[in-house]
Amino acid sequence: MPAHTEPYANVLETIGWTPLIRLNKLTQGIRTPLYAKAEFFNPGGSVKDRIGLAMIEAAEREGRLRPGGLIVEATSGNTGVGLALAAAVKGYRCIFTMPDKMSQEKARLLRALGAEVIITPTAVPPDHPENYIVKGRTIAAAHPNAIFADQHYNPVNPEVHYRTTGPEIWEQTAGRITHFVCAPGTGGTVSGAGRFLKERNPKLRVVAGDPLGSIYTEYARTRQKTEGHPYKVEGIGGDKIPTSLHWDVIDEWITVPDKDAMLSVRRLAKEEGLFCGGSTGVNLVSALEVARRVDDPQALVVTVLCDTGERYLSKVYNDEWLRENQILDTDRARARGEELGRAAPHFRRADRYGASGAQSHEHLQRVPAPGARRRRRRGRRVRTGAHGQGVGAARHARPARPGGDGRAVSRGGRGSTRRAPHRALVA
């Protein structure tokens, strides 16, 4: 079905209804089909376009934001882009506070979209006046006709994912999704989409990836706030407890080190042609672990491709930066040249917690070198026989039924019926 067959009134109408795309190479040897919701197809290049527009529209409806007003937000970059797009179309001014660990590309992009960007130190406690959230709040409070968008504590954030992302995934999989895997930053995506999907199918499991160093996994297990430690992946994990993150929705947590996330997302670009940032690497590692463990052609795992890799050309896709941060093995990398996503075997430590904390355990899992992986896959394919190709492949696609579950599905939050949505047609 062709998309975009009619013109749009403005760029904001193109937010949402992102494609759901099957991963074919990274999943070889795994019988569970794995699909990815390609949120980088949004006009601002990330999942955050959805909440940028929704938070502004809610503030307008509530009379908190009037023409000519100021929008302030603490952002790792992507929410700023979502807000700045909507602010450009609607004529608002934007000021964003951003921690200094975030990539230069993001700050430049926000400035290109007309926003003012204030860089704050990453290494300060959450209650420090220079913390990016505290500083953003202070700036908003000092201006008349200004809102602090407050993605970490704004109920509109999970709500828009409940209203759009969740229903889109449900329809794109024709209700066959069994596992939703998504790493929380503010928690809006996993909480909103996860809640919608669980309401549709109470047996569906929601799994959260979490960067090693974030406090979320430990909080989920103990409900105690601990001290985290710095990590390099941007936009996910946290050192505070946001109300946009609904802990009750998440059944299991998987901890992913920076190295595994970044090397995996580089493979995603090279082997699947999907170019994304480091947070997508956390989703990918977690989703592959779930798919491998479930090992069932009748199951269906969906994860999220959060944002475009273009935002990380100076980091995740820069070998020098990876070496400086001990993410690449310098000697081996030099010896072998490129293809570092495939280079050295490395070890992945995945800590998994059930929501109850009762099944807490950890294990070491080896991610083998590509040669070893191929050898093992070959052996496995023989064992799995016809199932080795997986079920629900694109070749079984059939035309999507509008509202395939018999329920009206919101499109990008504005009810536009003119746009043909991307549907993965999972039959």
Ligand X SMILES: Cc1ncc(COP(=O)(O)O)c(C=O)c1O
| Binder among 16, 277, 281, 421 for ligand X (CB under 6 A) | 277
Nearer to ligand X, 187 or 392 (CB): 187
Phi, psi torsion values for 31, nearest 5 degrees = -80, -25
Q: 279 or 299, CB closer to ligand X? A: 279
Per rule CB under 6 A, is residue 30 in the interface with ligand X? no
Q: How many CB atoms lie within 10 A of CB 214?
A: 25
Using an 8 Å Cβ cutoff, are 272 and 27 in contact? no
Is 48 among the residues known to form the active site? yes
Candidates 25, 37, 48, 232; catalytic one: 48
d(CA 290, CA 299): 11
- Under the binding rule (CB under 6 A), the answer on residue 99 touching ligand X is no
Chosen residue from 45, 80, 136, 185 binding ligand X by CB under 6 A:
185
Pairwise CA distance, residues 355 & 255, whole Å = 14
188 near ligand X, judged by CB under 6 A: yes
One of 234, 251, 258, 260 touching ligand X (CB under 6 A): 234
> What CA–CA distance (Å, rounded) separates 199 from 216?
24
| Nearest distance, CB of residue 160 and ligand X, angstroms | 10
Q: Work out whether strand 252-256 and strand 346-354 pair parallel, antiparallel, or are unpaired.
A: antiparallel
Question: Quick one: which of 27, 78, 154, 164 contacts ligand X (CB under 6 A)?
Answer: 78
d(CA 415, CA 188): 21
Q: Does position 187 bind ligand X by CB under 6 A?
A: yes
Phi, psi of 227 (to 5 degrees): -85, 125
Q: Terminus-to-terminus CA distance in the chain, angstroms?
A: 15
Among residue numbers 37 through 56, which ones bind ligand X (CB under 6 A)? 47-48
Three-class secondary structure of residue 63 per DSSP: coil
CB of 386 to ligand X, least distance (A): 37
Least separation in angstroms between residue 353's CB and ligand X is 18
Check binding of 33 to ligand X (CB under 6 A): no
Residue with tokens 């204030």: 118
Residue located via tokens 């064992």: 383
> What minimum distance in Å lies between the beta carbon of 15 and ligand X?
14
Query: Catalytic residues, which ones?
Result: 48
Interface residue list for ligand X (CB under 6 A):
47-48, 76, 78-79, 184-190, 234-236, 277, 279, 306-307
